[in-house]
């Protein structure tokens, strides 16, 4: 089955919030289960493909079947911003993205930058839910990281910033990252109090949140306007003069309003 057909099928899942990829210059596929998916100028929420109205390219262009940074001098900054805000939702979600990371001179040089997958939040310190890759000092590894901010319903209703912020990471060898396409995913399961990370379809990390949650089951509210979007791509980086990356590319990104099981994540990681 062609890759995009698999994505289209996955987007028909009633709990798929969206699936975005560069087909046709940047397109969104979704079951359109809520008003956020209304096509501009219409009242239709039928199950069909959307070409406009939901996403905005942020320092990003579509080229050769993938999203890439618009500014080739800044080889990492590249984001596709959606109008979706997860704040206040019960935290049982899955985020996935397929991306490519390049580096000049690898393995002698280590690319020093953070690349994100799918996330919401304007910085790592106020991440509502996210998954990213960042180089781990001089240890010649990348860290696949996942992080969340959760609130109790009563705190969210008061629109205060009282929240728990937790995260975890898994070390991935550079040779499994640089110059290759890979898929990273994260699931947040508030019902079972579990945050899990996946690399190329394999579960590589799980964090038991039982001792932290204590009723914190909603994605946290933020008073930062920049945090009220879900994004696919990267918008922060650190690059040394010596270890300059050749850039990132994104093939697709997906957000589900449910926790996908291991078999489903493994299947989509083959796309």
> Which of 87, 97, 113, 219 has the alpha carbon at shortest distance from 166?
219
**Range from 160-164, 236-240, 266-270 carrying the lowest mean pLDDT:** 236-240
By residue range, what is the domain housing residue 258? 3-268
In angstroms, rounded to a whole number, what is the distance separating the alpha carbons of residues 255 and 124?
19
User: How large is the average pLDDT for residues 243-249?
Assistant: 63
pLDDT tens, residue by residue, 7-66 = 667 766 778 877 777 766 666 655 444 444 444 444 444 434 444 455 677 777 877 778
Q: What is the pTM of this model?
A: 0.84
CATH number, position 35: 2.60.120.200
Helix, strand, coil fractions of the chain, as percent rounded to 5: 15, 45, 40
* 224: Cα separation from own chain's centroid: 19
> Which of 173, 244, 162 has the alpha carbon at shortest distance from 204?
173
| Confidence at residue 154, expressed as pLDDT on a 0 to 100 scale | 92
- Mean pLDDT (the chain, rounded): 75
How many structural domains are present in the chain?
A: 1
In angstroms, rounded to a whole number, what is the distance separating the alpha carbons of residues 242 and 172?
22
pLDDT tens, residue by residue, 184-232 = 999 999 999 999 999 999 999 999 999 888 899 999 887 777 677 788 8
Does residue 256 surpass a pLDDT of 70?
Answer: yes
Helices (H), the chain: 3-11, 153-157, 210-213, 262-268
> Which of 159, 265, 254, 140 has the alpha carbon at shortest distance from 204?
265
Band of the pLDDT at 157, cuts 50, 70, 90? confident
């Amino acid at each position: 089955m062609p890759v995009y057909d698999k994505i289209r099928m996955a987007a028909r899942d009633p709990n798929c919030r969206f699936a975005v990829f560069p087909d046709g210059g940047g397109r969104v596929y979704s079951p359109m289960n809520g008003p956020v998916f209304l096509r501009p100028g219409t009242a239709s929420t039928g199950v069909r493909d959307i070409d406009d109205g939901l996403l905005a390219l942020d320092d990003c262009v579509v080229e050769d079947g993938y999203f890439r940074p618009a500014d080739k001098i800044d080889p990492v900054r590249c984001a596709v911003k959606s109008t979706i805000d997860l704040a206040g939702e019960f935290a049982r979600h899955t985020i996935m993205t397929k991306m490519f990371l390049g580096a000049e001179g690898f393995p002698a040089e280590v690319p020093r930058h953070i690349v994100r997958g799918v996330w919401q939040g304007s910085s790592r310190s106020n991440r509502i839910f996210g998954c990213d890759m960042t180089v781990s000092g001089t240890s010649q590894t990348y860290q696949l990281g996942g992080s969340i901010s959760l609130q109790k319903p009563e705190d969210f209703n008061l629109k205060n910033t009282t929240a728990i912020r937790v995260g975890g990471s898994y070390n991935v060898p550079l040779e499994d990252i640089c110059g290759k396409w890979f898929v990273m995913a994260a699931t947040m399961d508030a019902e079972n109090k579990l945050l899990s990370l996946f690399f190329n379809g394999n579960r590589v990390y799980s964090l038991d949140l039982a001792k932290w949650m204590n009723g914190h089951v909603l994605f946290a509210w933020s008073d930062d306007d920049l945090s009220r979007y879900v994004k696919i791509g990267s918008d922060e980086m650190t690059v040394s003069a010596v270890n300059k990356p050749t850039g990132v590319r994104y093939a697709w990104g997906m957000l589900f309003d449910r926790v996908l099981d291991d078999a489903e994540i493994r299947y989509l990681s083959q796309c």
